Chains A and B, each alone.
Chain A
Amino acid sequence: MPVSCFTGCCCTMKDIPAQLQHWSHILLSRTSFRHILRRASLMRIRANTLSAHIIVTNASLNHHTFARPGEVNTLQGMAIRHVLHQAEVHRMRPNFPRNLKLTKLVCGSSKEERAIGVWSTSTSYDTIVAIATPMGNQQGSIAIVRISGPLAVAVVAKYFNSSKKSTSQRQNRWKPKSHFVELGTIVDDAGLIVDEVLVVPMLAPRSYTKEDVIEIQCHGGDVCVRRILHLCLEGGARLAQPGEFTLRAFLNGRMDLSQAESVAQLITAKSIVAAEAALAALQGGLSSFVQAMRKDCLELLAEMDAHLDFEDDIPPLETADVIERINSLCFRVQDSLKTSNRGRLLQSGMQIAIVGRPNVGKSSLLNAWSQSHRAIVTDIAGTTRDIVEAEVVVGGIPVKLLDTAGIRETDNVVEQMGVQRSEAAALGADVVVMVISACDGWTTGDHHIFHKIFSVKNSECAAGVSVTNFTTPWVLVQNKIDQAAEALVPIPDDVKTHFSKFVPTCAIKGIGLHDLEAAVVELVGLGKACSDGRQWAVNQRQAEQLLRARDALERLKESIKQDLPIDFWTIDLREAVIALGQISGDDVSEEVLSNIFSRFCIGK
């Protein structure tokens, strides 16, 4: 009878009986072992039919018990008690599992043995299986079933018939060679061939999850792959939860948290740049950058601390030098914060709303930008009633352009609803492009629109919707420059300050679109990060900690300016170290843990 594997853990004495009853369990100390024995007797299992696999690790105990050191010793009946007795005599502490380790408790004769408990210690025991390639509409020519866990080899061996030595293969156990592809067939219980497959065994620990992993590459289409999956499930594996392979990789120490997060981002990346960013983080780009900052902070902290204790032995601290180092740190933190916006945009894409009075050329702009004829363009004011979307890629980011109805006071019910939608679109957008007509200049209508949307949007920002203090940038596009007398119309000063960029365009002739793209790229913080070759971008969790670090450094600068004693400098610097440590994973916090456990479904 195959040994069933159970979830193992160190247990308190309290749960032992119940656990034994349900045959799940455990690594044991000697004391708890006794309880198991007792429990066994309650289960009407007679002591002399019990045998235990015990590893004795204490040299003196080996001598007295005649057990072989460090090996699994199968002991029966009174011999078990003898070992316990000797452990007692030799002052082995209870609850100290190193001296004596019970690995398996079995009852019955050797022919028909029943495991009462198997004690294993790795964190995951069951074997998981899943289809690794996409299912449904997108059919590929090859599909892959991935199976990971201690039973992976056993499960596959049940159904896999290698073509290497075709005869008598099924009698002998299949022994895969790690990282060698094998051709063969999958045969079900009835002996019918399911599919011809390639099997790629990757044995522990040289695999993605650090467990035995086998990939079965079968023909594409839903049918074959589903049948193979079904066989694996019958063979003793269970269906993997979403992300569970990565979770195991993480739990088994194959990757750290930020890398695990990056895997998810890589899989869901929508553009090449996004994928590159995730890959850069996966390779530890972010970690090493933050770790370097943390190291600098720590060095500075150590220096300050040293000055508190050993002033006489070391050269005095140069305040100017300290300030310079802090400034450089601030700058670097700020720098990485800038990528946070980019990180968000890379993952979710960007929305740009084009707003303005009727008939200033919003739809023409959309058409020109997306190089399509998505929107209907006429000379009649109020042609666009609903929101028209078009997708473009700007600076590697997927961008959704929203052409909106021209905003004006109107009695037309349909147009009124269109205007409301325009305002809503502007509020939800990442960048607002406001279009005015260069012929008309800044009109009262423009002024009205600007204030209406701007005030609402700003109050939202003030309420703390955005953690990164990131206010939506506004771009003012002066369209129809070909018809205007002067190149740039004068804008009232109070309005001017709220716009980040001014771009003159002529949508119909395609003039100025390049400048517009460049302006957008620069505003959302893409240009710089890309230019210095830094690929990664921080996510929201990381951004929060970076902000914390930045605030602490700012306070530190203030303390130095105020001439506070050196001891106070260390407090804020320490805060910065802690914050940075939480990003790089050097300082583990509860949030990080809960983050992990909310993301993945652990313990099921």
Chain B
Amino acid sequence: MHHLLHNTLYSFFLFFSLDIDSSVQIDPLSLSLSLSLSLSLSHIRSYMAMLLQPRILFAHSRRLRFIPPCCFSPSRSPCAFPASLRAFCVWRDARNRSHHVFLDDNHRPTVIPFARRIGLRFQESGRNRRAKNLSGRRLVSTFATDGLHGERYDVIVVGGGHSGCEAALASARMGASTLLLTLNLDRIAWQPCNPAVGGPAKSQLVHEVDALGGEMGKITDRCYLQKRVLNRSKGPAVWALRAQTDKREYATEMKKVVESTKNLYIREAMVSEVLVGNNDNVEGVRSFFGVNFYAPSVVLTTGTFMNGRIWVGRASLSAGRAGESASQGLTENLRSLGFETGRLKTGTPARVDVRTVDFSKLERQPGDEEVKWFSFDPEAHISREQMCCYLTRTTPETHELIKQNLHETPTYGGWVEATGPRYCPSIEDKIVRFKDKESHQIFLEPEGRTVPELYVQGFSTGLPERLQLALLQTLPGLEKCAMLRPAYAVEYDYLLAHQCNRTLMTKKLEGLFFSGQINGTTGYEEAAAQGLLAGINAAKFSDAKDLVALERESSFVGTLVDDLVTKDIREPYRMLTSRSEHRLLLRSDNADSRLTPLGRTVGLIDDRRWKLFQEKQSRISSEKQRLRTTRISSSDAIAADVAQASEQSITDVVPLAILLKRPHVHYSLLDCHGLGNPELSLEEKECVEIDLKYEGFIIRQQNQLEQMIHRQHRPIPDDLDYYSIKTLSMEAREKLSKIRPINIGQATRVGGVNPADINALLIYLEVQRRQRKDRTIFEASMANPPEESDNMAEQQTIAFMK
């Protein structure tokens, strides 16, 4: 009996999954049709009996999982299934989404697509639980049978830093009930290092986060102490807005937003374990104190906290950052789940007391008179009085002191092995590496309006505390300074991000997302950008929708994530303008036109923002049209000014757009002569000017991009066995097998894969394609259509059952 059932089931399964796989698009209707066709009702009933042997079922099918007769309760939202429905089995389609098959009152199978299952909560019997245990899996969790064992959410975000906040806000705003777990509720959105947001490449990230509906830009626009646009002379693609922020105010404001967002719950907890389900999926997390929280999506944003250890000189202390305890146990748990972790190091400089600094010896660095904004939402723009930063320089004494005490630093003394960021070197690194440079710039930046602390930018060090003050006092203006906090380095665990997809979901566990410093990045902006993406995808995943991945060339966020998942990152990753090959297309001013439509689609841009956006875009395009059609002649008043500015005279009747293309001719000149459009805001004018002025370059870059897309978006099958491609170098085979790039472009960027390998790979794929094509033609010519054998299968199956 058992054998018969087994075989029946086995063939049923094969038949079943074969059908699913061979249809490109899964249509639940046709599925239920094929079910009812191939199996009579009594067979289905006999399958129910099979549930007595769940072990076999589990053993044979990953795609089809039977669940025992269970009850479910329509919890929230408009799920209108009759309560008498019985779940029959779960199958997983080609994209690995699970769908439930139900039997209705008449025992007719009905397929409930995963997307609509969300409202249902399954309650499994104890027998099934045991079965899982028997089948050799770790019994990690059970579905909650009552409210006592754990709380249930759609998304759980672990960590309340810049990444965690964005993730939680995005997910909650998309309608997912979201739990934000953090070690310390008072430290939400804390800025433990530089109290600044933006800077080269990072500002683009903030603009993009805002365009997608993130929070970082808005909070910065509300809490800034000073704003400046850097790189003014280097071209519009690299203009970088940088804001000093009030670190306390920033945290408070962000906390207010987090606390007041609907669907978002916050809780203090140290997460020490990720709960894993039967199908390599995440079911929730367990806290250090043994409480379980359940959700189909979990976002880990642990920052520097996983096994964090801070160093001052030779002394070290287990801590996530100064004064806060590290998180224990999670790394080990992730490792036991098969994740590869590594260790990184970063640091923060000392803070000095503003009252002990002699400002007369310092060069003032005031903010820009005309303040620019991170957010595209004018409502978020709140003008504040600006504070000043100060500039000082290292002196020969500084260099001397460091050279004498190099052995006291962790890196040169050799007791910390973790890699620090090359792009944010400590002062001793700078002095060792740039021996020729006599002096390095040091910025003194206020940390807040009511805080006496000054941040000494460019002066992070691993020297012991007893030397730090002496070192600070070698700087002009700081001769008598008092130190409020010492500089320290922090060492922490991170996960090698190639274990994630471009959606930031891990390849190993469904529903588990990594975001922020845990992926090996450094910087608030990088963290926020990842957080937003992870939050969006976590909410989407819990809602069984398609996940969002940003193409590398679409945005800096896309570039960041692509780099993370492709490159084997062994030092903290910082966003740089040079990391983007097509940055002229990825400017700050057009971030909204690039990304706001996406933000709207995912549901993070409300109607008001959307209307603003559309109006702005239409104003810009009509203005461009106007400038292209309005012509002036050499006799007009503006002609002389243009000729003077560009040192070329005007001989003909030319449209204004052509005038703008000339060097040193700006929109403001049009304004002077009343030829500008007063309806446009300053930002909009800037957009128009850049688009017209650099049109030729933009078009050229677009062409480059298209060529590249054409070349690089050639997909690589995800089950490709690189080890079997003998023409690849051994290193390339290893690296590619590890990273499993999704297209040729990604493969190109994998370290250790040289162009010859890419050539070989392309040729291999092309040969495969051609062979397949030839075979298809050959097979088509054979007079033995596969349908016939499928019929045979059916007959066999039915014969078997009789």
Residues on A lying within 8 angstroms of B by beta carbon are: 7, 9-15, 17-19, 21-22, 24, 27, 29, 31, 34-35, 38, 41-42, 85, 88-91, 93-98, 101, 121-123, 250-253, 256-257, 302, 305-313, 562-568, 571-572, 574-575, 578, 581, 585-590, 593, 596-597, 602-604
Q: Is the CB of B234 within 8 A of A566?
A: yes
How long is the Cα–Cα vector from A17 to B18 in the complex, in angstroms? 10
B interface majority secondary structure: helix
User: Which of B58, B710, B727 touches A590 (beta carbons < 8 Å)?
Assistant: B710
Among A11, A575, A578, A588, which residue has the most Cβ atoms of chain B within 10 A? A588
Q: Is B792 an interface residue (CB 8 A)?
A: yes
How long is the Cα–Cα vector from A574 to B720 in the complex, in angstroms? 32
Q: Is B122 an interface residue (CB 8 A)?
A: no
Residues of chain A with a CB closer than 8 A to B789's CB: 17, 21, 42
Known A-B contacts: A256-B756, A588-B759, A590-B711. Give 12 more (CB < 8 A): A15-B775, A17-B18, A21-B784, A35-B18, A38-B14, A38-B793, A85-B59, A90-B136, A98-B737, A593-B762, A602-B767, A602-B770
User: Which of B238, B430, B724 touches A308 (beta carbons < 8 Å)?
Assistant: B238
Residues of chain B with a CB closer than 8 A to A313's CB: 430, 434, 437
Q: Is the CB of A252 within 8 A of B727?
A: yes
Q: Is the CB of B584 within 8 A of A571?
A: yes
Residues on B lying within 8 angstroms of A by beta carbon are: 11, 14, 18, 21-22, 58-60, 62, 135-137, 200-201, 231, 233-238, 280, 423, 430, 434, 437, 440-441, 576-578, 581, 583-584, 663, 694, 697, 700-701, 704, 707, 710-711, 717-721, 723-727, 737, 755-756, 758-760, 762-764, 766-768, 770-776, 778-779, 782, 784, 786, 789, 792-793, 796
B150 → A minimal CB distance (Å): 24
Residues of chain A with a CB closer than 8 A to B280's CB: 91, 93
Q: Is the CB of A98 within 8 A of B723?
A: yes
CB closest residue in chain A, given B740: A96
How long is the Cα–Cα vector from A309 to B235 in the complex, in angstroms? 13
Residues of chain B with a CB closer than 8 A to A34's CB: 14
How long is the Cα–Cα vector from A277 to B793 in the complex, in angstroms? 64
How long is the Cα–Cα vector from A574 to B770 in the complex, in angstroms? 33
How long is the Cα–Cα vector from A134 to B293 in the complex, in angstroms? 79
Residues of chain A with a CB closer than 8 A to B786's CB: 17-18, 21
A376 → B minimal CB distance (Å): 57
How long is the Cα–Cα vector from A588 to B748 in the complex, in angstroms? 10
How long is the Cα–Cα vector from A93 to B338 in the complex, in angstroms? 13
Residues of chain B with a CB closer than 8 A to A307's CB: 234
Q: Is the CB of B719 within 8 A of A97?
A: yes
How long is the Cα–Cα vector from A42 to B800 in the complex, in angstroms? 13
How long is the Cα–Cα vector from A15 to B700 in the complex, in angstroms? 42
Q: Is the CB of B771 within 8 A of A7?
A: yes
Q: Is the CB of A22 within 8 A of B782?
A: yes
Q: Is the CB of B767 within 8 A of A251?
A: yes
Q: Is the CB of B756 within 8 A of A95?
A: no
Q: Is the CB of A308 within 8 A of B200?
A: yes
User: Which of B22, B719, B725 touches A96 (beta carbons < 8 Å)?
Assistant: B719
Q: Is the CB of B704 within 8 A of A578?
A: yes
Q: Is the CB of B767 within 8 A of A603?
A: yes
How long is the Cα–Cα vector from A19 to B578 in the complex, in angstroms? 48
CB closest residue in chain B, given A584: B755
Would A588 and B758 be within 8 Å (CB), given that A17-B789, A35-B18 are in contact?
Answer: yes
30 contacts between A and B (CB under 8 A): A7-B775, A11-B772, A15-B772, A21-B786, A24-B775, A34-B14, A42-B796, A88-B58, A89-B136, A90-B136, A91-B137, A94-B62, A96-B719, A101-B721, A121-B721, A121-B725, A123-B727, A123-B764, A305-B577, A308-B234, A308-B238, A311-B231, A562-B663, A567-B234, A567-B236, A568-B584, A568-B697, A575-B700, A581-B755, A588-B762
How long is the Cα–Cα vector from A15 to B434 in the complex, in angstroms? 60
Residues of chain B with a CB closer than 8 A to A91's CB: 137, 280
A92 → B minimal CB distance (Å): 9
Would A567 and B237 be within 8 Å (CB), given that A89-B59, A98-B737, A574-B704 are in contact?
Answer: yes
Would A18 and B779 be within 8 Å (CB), given that A38-B11, A256-B759 are in contact?
Answer: yes
User: Which of A562, A567, A603 touches B583 (beta carbons < 8 Å)?
Assistant: A567
Among B59, B437, B763, which residue has the most Cβ atoms of chain A within 10 A? B763
How long is the Cα–Cα vector from A93 to B509 in the complex, in angstroms? 11
Q: Is the CB of A9 within 8 A of B771?
A: yes
Q: Is the CB of B697 within 8 A of A22?
A: no
Residues of chain B with a CB closer than 8 A to A585's CB: 755-756, 759
Residues of chain B with a CB closer than 8 A to A562's CB: 663
Q: Is the CB of B62 within 8 A of A88?
A: yes
Q: Is the CB of B737 within 8 A of A88?
A: no
Minimum-distance CB pairs A-B, first 8: A567-B235, A121-B724, A603-B770, A565-B235, A305-B578, A253-B727, A95-B719, A586-B755
Residues of chain B with a CB closer than 8 A to A27's CB: 721, 724
Q: Is the CB of B62 within 8 A of A306?
A: no
Q: Is the CB of B766 within 8 A of A22?
A: no
Q: Is the CB of A95 within 8 A of B771?
A: no
How long is the Cα–Cα vector from A15 to B18 in the complex, in angstroms? 11
B426 → A minimal CB distance (Å): 13
B801 → A minimal CB distance (Å): 15
